[in-house]
Amino acid sequence: MSEATGFEAVFGDRGDTDDARPVDHTAAELIDHVRAGRLSAAEIWDDYQRLAGADTLNAYLWRADEAPEVAANAPLAGVPLAVKDLFCTEGVPSAAASKILEGYRPPYTATAVERLREAGAPMLGKTNMDEFAMGSSNENSAFGPVKNPWDESRVPGGSSGGSAAAVAAGLAPWAIGTDTGGSIRQPAALCGIVGLKPTYGTVSRYGMIAFASSLDQAGPLTRDVTDAALLLRHMVGRDPCDSTSTGHPEEIALPSAERLDGVRFGVPPELTGDGLEPGVREVFEATLKRIEELGGSVQEVGLPHSGHAISAYYVIAPAEASANLARFDGVRYGHRAGNGDLLSLYEQTREEGFGPEVKRRIMLGTYALSSGYYDAYYGRAQKVRTTIAADFRSAFESVDVIVTPTSPTVAFALGERVDDPLAMYLSDVLTVPMSLAGIPAISIPGGLSDGLPVGIQLASPAFSENRLLDAAHALERAIDFKGARSRG
């Protein structure tokens, strides 16, 4: 093997030995290899293009075929990125996994994707997702579900299921997704990787096909916490094209903490009581012990209104979605149907173009916003949202980080929840409160339950990403999750 070069030299004969597989290497490690001259950006690109091309999970909807130009000194060194299908990218199919946008090739690129490209992370492909990011299992995609690489009879979670599965299976070094009520954190948890939803507003939404604008937030899905910090560092920033974007008050640092001395962790009983699967509870309790071993303290902290989060979310998110989706009328983009008159153009296009879950949300949202009901539903839900945000603020007077499992269950079987929308909606019962409050939250792998990954969620006050990443880093080191390697 002495004449092996590039990727092969670094990774050995891929697949034969455990530590020879690209899936076991983080993006930060790849960047180091490039810097040290052991690997070139072109070799990484070629190898990952081949891996992505062999996708059998339906994680990708589109793959780039040309190696892009990357500046020699770009900080992310050319390590390619998988991008959720709802990020508009110039000239590339960007359909939010909906039939109504099939064939749409935007004339511009989303700010987050553009920033990462400039930083040296070119787009490897577009990943599958629930249509318009509505769902928790990726089964609402118009292009078929994604399989979970840990067990292909199970869902990868959603809505960023393609991004999560691609990273977990080694079909991409890292990926971005969006999180409206849990769509980065929950699939990261179910696929055994790291997923970070940043503070609302820190990453520009410009060019993201909108679901619920007051909640949508882009973020990284990665193999470890360091990679998440690295991607986030180059995603955040104020953008004149998105008036709600704030940027981040400090540079995102690479996390280095190994201990949790003095860090106060709060466990909200409202989110960690009944309803957790026993295997999830076990991993969660083991995590609390680890926190204490690392010098952190664990105490109970109340989030008294968080039990109402799902109800408020399923008024607010569909209401905003019904307004955002009004633009898909067959006139401007994508699919067009109808028999010539204007009304049938609208009706037929939307009837054929939207899937059942999207139609359900449009009906829910339109109803909640209709005259006479607005105050009773939308107005009331907004008040609940404000109260939930206030709960978090007062909790953060006595703790630094809130810790919960990310999902009440491990990955469930494909088909298991498709006919039961309420059961599906409850998949996000632990992630939606943080979305309503606009605060950052990260999911890291906590361990396995019957061979399937369990995610642990850490949340902290708005704009405290650096502290959150440090805490997650210390915990990640102690947990020492083997990721893809433990799949054998």
**Which residues are catalytic, by number?**
84, 159, 183
Positions 422 through 451 that interact with ligand GLN (CB under 6 A)? 428
Is residue 159 involved in binding ligand GLN (CB under 6 A)? yes
Please tell me the count of residues contacting ligand GLN according to CB under 6 A: 13
Is residue 309 involved in binding ligand GLN (CB under 6 A)? no
Q: Which of 106, 145, 173, 181 binds ligand GLN (CB under 6 A)?
A: 181
Asked if 19 and 34 touch (Cβ cutoff 8 Å), the reply is no
SS3 (DSSP) at 290: helix
Asked if 305 and 313 touch (Cβ cutoff 8 Å), the reply is no
Is residue 137 involved in binding ligand GLN (CB under 6 A)? no
Tokens of 472: 């997650």
Q: Which of 163, 208, 225, 211 is nearest to 188 (CA)?
A: 163
CA–CA gap between residue 177 and residue 161 (Å, rounded): 9
Tokens of 352: 């054929």
* CA distances from residue 145 to 156, 160, 316, 475 in whole angstroms, order as listed: 9, 11, 26, 32
Is residue 157 involved in binding ligand GLN (CB under 6 A)? no
String marking each residue 241-280 x if it binds ligand GLN according to CB under 6 A: ----------------------------------------
Smaller CB distance to ligand GLN: residue 161 or 255?
161
| Rounded least distance, CB 180 to ligand GLN, Å | 3
Positions 277 through 306 that interact with ligand GLN (CB under 6 A)? none
Distance of CA 43 to the CA centre of its chain: 27
Q: Which of 183, 226, 272, 324 binds ligand GLN (CB under 6 A)?
A: 183
Is residue 148 involved in binding ligand GLN (CB under 6 A)? no
Smaller CB distance to ligand GLN: residue 180 or 272?
180
Tokens of 278: 């026993």
Q: Which of 44, 81, 119, 133 binds ligand GLN (CB under 6 A)?
A: 133
Q: Which residues neighbour 61 within 8 Å (Cβ) at sequence distance 6 or greater?
A: 85, 93, 95, 97, 125, 126, 127, 128, 143, 162
- End-to-end CA separation in angstroms for the chain: 24
| Rounded least distance, CB 255 to ligand GLN, Å | 24
Q: Which of 362, 333, 330, 423 is nearest to 139 (CA)?
A: 423
Check the CA dihedral 73-74-77-80 and report its sign: negative
- The stretch near ligand GLN (CB under 6 A) out of 97-105, 131-139, 291-299, 451-459 is 131-139
E strands, 18-86, in order: 60-63, 81-84
Asked if 441 and 185 touch (Cβ cutoff 8 Å), the reply is yes
| Rounded least distance, CB 321 to ligand GLN, Å | 8
Smaller CB distance to ligand GLN: residue 159 or 199?
159
- The stretch near ligand GLN (CB under 6 A) out of 5-13, 42-50, 175-183, 478-486 is 175-183
Q: Which of 186, 192, 188, 184 is nearest to 235 (CA)?
A: 184
Q: Which residues neighbour 145 within 8 Å (Cβ) at sequence distance 6 or greater?
A: 58, 137, 138, 139, 155, 161, 414
SS3 (DSSP) at 219: strand
Is residue 155 involved in binding ligand GLN (CB under 6 A)? no
Q: 380-395 and 309-324 are packed helices; what angle lies between their axes, rounded to 10 degrees? A: 130
- The stretch near ligand GLN (CB under 6 A) out of 173-181, 235-243, 340-348, 390-398 is 173-181
| Rounded least distance, CB 221 to ligand GLN, Å | 13
Smaller CB distance to ligand GLN: residue 157 or 483?
157
CA–CA gap between residue 4 and residue 23 (Å, rounded): 19
Tokens of 125: 């492909």
String marking each residue 45-84 x if it binds ligand GLN according to CB under 6 A: ----------------------------------------
Smaller CB distance to ligand GLN: residue 183 or 322?
183
φ, ψ of residue 98 to 5 degrees: the values are -115, 145
Q: Which of 104, 211, 354, 378 binds ligand GLN (CB under 6 A)?
A: 211
- The stretch near ligand GLN (CB under 6 A) out of 57-65, 129-137, 291-299, 414-422 is 129-137
Is residue 320 involved in binding ligand GLN (CB under 6 A)? no
Is residue 176 involved in binding ligand GLN (CB under 6 A)? no
* Binding positions for ligand GLN, rule: CB under 6 A: 133-136, 159, 179-183, 211, 317, 428
